[in-house]
Amino acid sequence: EDVKLLSDMGVDAYRFSIAWPRLIPDGRGAVNPKGLEYYNNLIDELLAHGIQPHVTIYHFDFPQALQDEYNGMLSRKFIDDYTAYAEVCFKNFGDRVKYWSTVNEPNIEPIGGYDQGILPPRRCSFPFGVLSCDNGNSTTEPYIVAHHLLLAHASAASLYKEKYQAKQGGNIGLTLLGWWYEPATQTPEDIAAAERMNDFHIGWYMHPLVHGDYPPVMRKNVGSRLPSFTDEELKRLLGSFDFVGFNHYIAVYVKADLSKLDDELRDYMGDAAVKYDMPFLKKNQLLFGLKSDFMTSTPWALKKMLEHLQLKYKNPIVMIHENGAASIADPSAGNAPDDEFRSQYLQDYIEATLESSRNGSNVQ
């Protein structure tokens, strides 16, 4: 019924994620036949209605068994287990799935889960966590986890390209969070801060994938805490994508805070040497949502991000995988609100995408 509703709306593509624990409950080994059945049925139903599946292999749902066994993504063991799981997906669904994203938002999971402690496994260290954490190291663990996520992506993409792509005819990439960082003022310091933050946010993944190493500013500011790639890893990593997905919602205004570079202990934000307001609502030290004014309409930010990718990262094929806006509910509207804000938001972003395409971006 849900798929039919999508079809009735005229939707011709649907992005969803496969849950690793649903398919392989222990993270490795035996595959759950009911999990296979569920995803096979979903894929077949989508195709029967003329809807192309766009599948994300990993989206924040790490198997608890592997977290308990070796501390999850902090261990390089994760790379092999993830690759084996990805192969189960390719082998069982790849005859029908033509668009694969290896990981979702790997540029935010290490921060939320290993620096600020607001996402599983809620690791952080004083004084950096948004919430209090019992264990972790905010100064090193985000960089280790991001490094392993990059290597896991490259491993799975390499496997797909070598073993499955020719006969299955699909495409593989990854999906990044695409906040666009804009200077809070037009001072040289804030302009440099915005450039630096875009390197830390987008360049953290795009620079190794396109240019073969982390951005120079990350190498400089993070120093020995930032892992290095072997020659073999770089061979797998460079160009290991057919497209890049972006989840884009907002512009974030940043100010320079170079004094952070003098701190003996620094986390990701300290290394970036910037400051900006985090849009989280807290009560009794628990997160329960986003500020109501978090998502304003800034379609120009999408155009700037796409131009940035075009100029700095060799104009990759880009797919906008997430976009939209939250707004304050109107109790008087009942179940049929006049949703003018979000309707206009989507219209503006579609127009921004079209304009970027006409200006040479490979956005699709």
What pLDDT is recorded for position 340?
83
Mean pLDDT computed over 127-151: 93
Q: SS in 3 state form for the chain?
A: CHHHHHHHCCCCEEEEECCHHHHCCCCCCCCCHHHHHHHHHHHHHHHHCCCEEEEEEECCCCCHHHHHHHCHHHCCHHHHHHHHHHHHHHHHHCCCCCEEEEEECCCCHHHHHHCCCCCCCCCCCCCCCCCCCCCCCCCCHHHHHHHHHHHHHHHHHHHHHHHHHHHHCCEEEEEEECCEEEECCCCHHHHHHHHHHHHHHHHHHHHHHHHCCCCHHHHHHHHHHCCCCCHHHHHHHCCCCCEEEEECCCEEEEEECHHHHHCCCCCHHHHHCEECCCCEEEECCEEEEECCCCCCCCHHHHHHHHHHHHHHCCCCCEEEEECCCCCCCCHHHCCCCCCHHHHHHHHHHHHHHHHHHHCCCCEC
Indicate which residue of 195, 233, 307, 322 is catalytic.
Answer: 322
pLDDT, tens digit, for every residue of 326-358? 776 666 666 656 678 888 999 999 999 999 999
Q: pTM for this one?
A: 0.94
105 is catalytic: yes
Q: What is the CATH number of domain 98-358?
A: 3.20.20.80
Across the chain, mean pLDDT equals 94
Q: Which of 37, 105, 233, 307 is catalytic?
A: 105
For the segment 310-325, the average pLDDT, to the nearest whole number, is 97
Q: Is the pLDDT of residue 228 over 90?
A: yes
pLDDT of residue 293: 59
Active-site residue flag, 322: yes
Res 129: pLDDT: 85
- The predicted-structure confidence for 36-87, as pLDDT tens digits, reads as follows 999 999 999 999 999 999 999 999 999 999 999 999 999 999 999 999 999 9
